Structure 1
Amino acid sequence: MTKPFGAMTVAQLSILIQSGAVDPVEVVRSIFESIEGHPDKAVFTVLLKERAIDEAKASSLRIRRGRSLGALDGIPIAWKDLFDIEGLATTAGSKVLASTAPAASDAATVMALKRAGMIAVGRTNMSEFAFSGLGINPHYGTPHNSHGLDVPRIPGGSSSGAAVAVGAGLVPVAMGTDTGGSVRIPAALNGLVGYKGTRGRYSMDGVFPLAKSLDSLGPLCRTVRDAVWIDAAMRGLTSSEVCARPLKGIEIAIPTNVVFDGIEPGVAAAFDAAVERLARTGAIISHMTIPAFDQTLTSMTRYGALVTAEAFALHRERLAGPEAAGMDRRVVMRTRLGEKTGMPDYIAILEIRERLIAECKRLIGDRLLAFPSVAHVAPPIAPLEMDDDLFFATNAKTLRNTALGNFLDWCGVSIPCGAGDAGMPVGFLLSAPANGDDVLLGAALSAEAVIRGDFV
């Protein structure tokens, strides 16, 4: 039986479209049938059916005339509810923004991928204002992790709907944002590839912010190759400059501190098995303590978190007014913590960050970093909704590993590496210092099959 179009990789679907075996209009109509027939109605907040059909018709005409825009022409994509879409209010997973003025134009990244021929099919659900790694949303509902066959489990956040849309086979790719792990966490928990580019690699124009010192973008998809193609188009390139790197001799460092604290045995076993497979290919594996990890956590305890300080500055008027009553109480509670970070503390955080970034570059050199994307598999939703203390503790643990990379200004890609408790997916996070994206993606292209092992 042929896979649904939304369950294909971008590359698989591209071959069908570019060869004329399927028409983009047929693909888009099938995608909407799948979305509309899917039982989980919390995945999308808005569907762009009329726009998508129009874009598909234009793509179809180009391809029939031999004027395709490239490999991504006719490929459907879903957008996290942070990206401006012309004519719509950008709600950022919140009801309080529903009455704001419609966007006058698409976000810069939306326009870039439209120029590559990609078709916007809708906006996906998310944690309110992108301020949670769990993906729970009391306003638009919480998308269920498609791998959770025993009980409803979290999708991960904040790009929750993006991950479920791809994981459930509704679309081949969705775009997310990542301030503390919001691409890599849901990718890991849903068995997907999630790539977070270096902060500043892509334009943030038209993207609702959380913390501008940390915000970055990236796709959630099925393969590293798909991520490489999307990355090129986001930067306005007609083809990617990324080349696969030989695994033999590639140096990968595994931290010995922080990232394995409290790890579930199943996650540790899946990660260790992937490391062993890499070592057998000739990759050079080393272990090291990274002092910046502990110093980052110490800084957060002393001065507060950078993300919380900047989120409070963004939302302080909203939190002081009647809109706060219409927000997720947990988002309100967490954001208000940022008020405790005064200007001297904020400056201290930035100075510490600059120093730790430089120290890490000297320590790591040309090596890549590898550790579990998340120290646990996706937990059940219900207990987290009922217990705020459990919610905050789980959220902190979920964000811990990935948020270190945001603070240290790394790029990273999460790749499925096996299964943990209840058969839930585990993510293997490869990271590199800022602007090491091409090297990182080149290594990930070669390492992906090895990291995955027999897990699909």
Structure 2
Amino acid sequence: MPPRSIAQLSVLLQSGALDPVDLVEETLAAIAGHPDQTIFTTVLAQRARMEAAASRKRLAEGRSRGVLEGVPLAWKDLFDIEGLPTTAGSRVLKDSAPARQDAAVVRALADAGMVSVGRVNMSEFAFSGLGINPTFGTPRNPASPQGEHRIPGGSSSGSGVAVAAGLVPVSIGTDTGGSVRIPAAFNGVVGYKATRGRYAMDGVFPLARSLDSLGPLCHTVQDAVWIDAAMRGAPAAGVLKRVAVSDLSFVVPETVVFDGAEPEIVAAFEAAVERLAKAGARVRREAFPEFAAIFDLMARHGALVTAEAYVLHRERITGAAAADMDPRVVKRTLMGEKISLADYIATLEARDSLTASFTARLGPGDFLISPTLPHVAPAVQPLLDDEDLFFATNAKTLRNTLIGNFLDVCGVSLPCGTGAAGMPVGLLVSGPKDSDDALLAVAGAVESLLG
């Protein structure tokens, strides 16, 4: 079925033109009939029908819980769903104890009237930006040219594909190094990574707690605003704050983010910048030595995500379970064994200093704009055939977005035209920590201009 936004579905549901039960049956049928059966890892048919029936009753009685009432959604396979094991994209957790209750944000969106239809695929244990999963299969990027299977991006691979394919209007992902923004850019949808700590993390399987954040993949910034409010337990009825493009100030970072970028990526980004400037936005370009310093720090001391992932998975990757895991995930996680406590503490201390320096470099009201990724989604098979290519591509894919996690910024990836082979390109708007409300308003203005 053609993709529909939350806003489009909400108008139909609230007016009575669309029944929540009919919508959930349509959604379940679309999932079952879709040619790519690797997108969903679990379909919650019984739960979805019960929630849709409850939504129908509330609407009929004039007790709608708001704009999200009756709207279907999917969850990355990291969020606890009561009565089911949380497998985190890995077969080694398939026999783990069922969750005793929903994750906090799952409860929050259920309380807003939303209908959970399933959990979607991901990179195993969320430890890759490519979205390849040898256990559950790798979802095909819907924008792939005919006859090609291009990567969906990760780690929230199923979330990006489920939304782009029109199976659900929104899917909730996690973002530790770009795992919301990367699949959003590769699949041509909107991806909002909130400031770390904006939402309750109870019941979310971690990767690296010092970096983990959450956010929706959806079709519009307005949809993201509604989901953001509901995930925080606030009424999801607010209209996106409107700001004039002519009142906005953007900084284009000249450090790291354009290195090795495909010409088509740069061309699409520069065309967007030109449109912003012609509409009256202030745009300046500036070097950010903090960006380069992050990678120098990782080269000296190792990456925070690798250190924390190693501690989390040490028993698995050094025991029998490793044989049932993606060997690339095992190999990458084992690198954390070499990161000492002194290295880890030195990185945390440097992180504070670099974050302060970066924030001070931004003027009042400044937001960063950059390409979300330096390349479009590549084909899957060459990455499976060549391990060195896999790791090199993974590192390049994560490069631009991981800067934001390290510096604890919030960001929205917006569709920004197409690049090589007609594949989607993303433009990333980022703001300093806790500037989420302003960021969403700015992203909405950019979205409106870019169309």
Instruction: Name 1:61's counterpart in structure 2.
Output: 57
Q: Post-superposition shift, 1:378?
A: 0.2
Instruction: Name 2:127's counterpart in structure 1.
Output: 131
Give the distance between the partners of 1:134 and 1:334, measured in 2 at CA: 14
Instruction: Name 1:393's counterpart in structure 2.
Output: 392
Instruction: Name 1:417's counterpart in structure 2.
Output: 416
Q: Post-superposition shift, 1:249?
A: 2.7
1:165 aligns with 2:162: yes
Instruction: Name 1:187's counterpart in structure 2.
Output: 184
Instruction: Name 2:9's counterpart in structure 1.
Output: 13
Q: 1:96-107 residue pairs with structure 2 within 5 A?
A: 96-107=92-103
Are the aligned partners of 1:412 and 1:440 in contact in 2 as well (CA < 8 Å)?
yes
Q: Post-superposition shift, 1:451?
A: 2.9
Instruction: Name 1:256's counterpart in structure 2.
Output: 254
1:307 aligns with 2:305: yes
Of stretches 351-360 and 243-252 in structure 1, the one that deviates more from structure 2 is: 243-252
Q: Post-superposition shift, 1:445?
A: 1.2
1:402 aligns with 2:398: no
Give the distance between the partners of 1:90 and 1:242, measured in 2 at CA: 34
Give SS of 1:227's match: helix
Q: TM-score, normalised by structure 2?
A: 0.98
Instruction: Name 1:375's counterpart in structure 2.
Output: 374
- Which amino acid letter does the alignment assign opposite residue 120 of structure 1? S
Q: Post-superposition shift, 1:242?
A: 5.3
Q: Post-superposition shift, 1:257?
A: 1.1
Give the distance between the partners of 1:344 and 1:370, measured in 2 at CA: 35
Q: Post-superposition shift, 1:243?
A: 1.5
Give the distance between the partners of 2:327 and 2:194, measured in 1 at CA: 31
1:155 aligns with 2:149: no
1:324 aligns with 2:322: yes
Q: Post-superposition shift, 1:241?
A: 7.8
- Which amino acid letter does the alignment assign opposite residue 373 of structure 1? T
Aligned with 1:27 (options 23, 28, 36): 23
Q: TM-score, normalised by structure 1?
A: 0.97
Are the aligned partners of 2:240 and 2:444 in contact in 1 as well (CA < 8 Å)?
no
Instruction: Name 1:291's counterpart in structure 2.
Output: 289
Give SS of 2:273's match: helix
Deviation per residue, 1:345-402 (Å, 9 max, x gap): 0000000000011111100133100100010000000000111000000000000000
Give the distance between the partners of 2:192 and 2:151, measured in 1 at CA: 20
Give SS of 1:434's match: coil
Q: Post-superposition shift, 1:244?
A: 2.0
Give the distance between the partners of 2:89 and 2:349, measured in 1 at CA: 32
Give the distance between the partners of 2:308 and 2:239, measured in 1 at CA: 34
Count of aligned residue pairs for this structure pair:
448
Are the aligned partners of 2:372 and 2:426 in contact in 1 as well (CA < 8 Å)?
yes
Give the distance between the partners of 1:186 and 1:204, measured in 2 at CA: 21
- Which amino acid letter does the alignment assign opposite residue 85 of structure 2? A
Aligned with 1:43 (options 39, 46, 50): 39
Give the distance between the partners of 2:242 and 2:92, measured in 1 at CA: 45
Give the distance between the partners of 1:81 and 1:257, measured in 2 at CA: 34
- Which amino acid letter does the alignment assign opposite residue 414 of structure 2? I
Deviation per residue, 1:135-156 (Å, 9 max, x gap): 0000000000000024100000
1:236 aligns with 2:230: no
Deviation per residue, 1:24-69 (Å, 9 max, x gap): 0000000011111101010000000010000000000000000000
Give SS of 2:91's match: coil
- Which amino acid letter does the alignment assign opposite residue 160 of structure 1? S
1:205 aligns with 2:205: no
Give the distance between the partners of 1:422 and 1:447, measured in 2 at CA: 25
Are the aligned partners of 1:415 and 1:451 in contact in 2 as well (CA < 8 Å)?
no
Give the distance between the partners of 2:338 and 2:154, measured in 1 at CA: 25
Instruction: Name 1:342's counterpart in structure 2.
Output: 340
Please report the RMSD computed on the Cα atoms of aligned residues, expressed in angstroms.
Answer: 0.9
Deviation per residue, 1:330-357 (Å, 9 max, x gap): 0000001011110000000000000011
- Which amino acid letter does the alignment assign opposite residue 450 of structure 2? I
Give the distance between the partners of 2:437 and 2:243, measured in 1 at CA: 10
Are the aligned partners of 2:222 and 2:239 in contact in 1 as well (CA < 8 Å)?
no
Alpha-carbon spacing, 1:241–1:71, altered in 2? closer, same or farther (3 Å): closer
Deviation per residue, 1:103-149 (Å, 9 max, x gap): 00000000000000000000000000000000000000000000002
Are the aligned partners of 2:42 and 2:119 in contact in 1 as well (CA < 8 Å)?
yes
Give the distance between the partners of 2:4 and 2:207, measured in 1 at CA: 32
Give SS of 1:187's match: helix
Give the distance between the partners of 1:91 and 1:446, measured in 2 at CA: 38
Q: Post-superposition shift, 1:449?
A: 2.2
Give the distance between the partners of 1:68 and 1:108, measured in 2 at CA: 21
Give SS of 1:15's match: helix
Of stretches 385-394 and 244-253 in structure 1, the one that deviates more from structure 2 is: 244-253
- Which amino acid letter does the alignment assign opposite residue 344 of structure 2? Y
Give the distance between the partners of 2:61 and 2:178, measured in 1 at CA: 42
Instruction: Name 1:433's counterpart in structure 2.
Output: 432
Give the distance between the partners of 1:249 and 1:119, measured in 2 at CA: 38
Are the aligned partners of 2:222 and 2:240 in contact in 1 as well (CA < 8 Å)?
no
Instruction: Name 1:110's counterpart in structure 2.
Output: 106
Give SS of 1:210's match: coil
Give SS of 1:155's match: coil
- Which amino acid letter does the alignment assign opposite residue 409 of structure 1? D
Q: 1:444-455 residue pairs with structure 2 within 5 A?
A: 444-452=443-451
Are the aligned partners of 2:74 and 2:118 in contact in 1 as well (CA < 8 Å)?
yes
Are the aligned partners of 2:87 and 2:94 in contact in 1 as well (CA < 8 Å)?
yes
Give SS of 2:41's match: strand
Give the distance between the partners of 1:446 and 1:229, measured in 2 at CA: 16
Give the distance between the partners of 2:227 and 2:369, measured in 1 at CA: 23
- Which amino acid letter does the alignment assign opposite residue 353 of structure 2? R
Are the aligned partners of 2:4 and 2:166 in contact in 1 as well (CA < 8 Å)?
yes
> Is there any run of 5+ residues in structure 2 with no aligned partner, and where?
none
Aligned with 2:79 (options 65, 79, 83): 83
Instruction: Name 1:220's counterpart in structure 2.
Output: 217
Q: Post-superposition shift, 1:240?
A: 3.5
Q: Post-superposition shift, 1:416?
A: 0.3
Are the aligned partners of 1:417 and 1:428 in contact in 2 as well (CA < 8 Å)?
yes
Give the distance between the partners of 1:191 and 1:450, measured in 2 at CA: 16
Deviation per residue, 1:283-306 (Å, 9 max, x gap): 100000001101000000000001
Aligned identity (percent) is 60
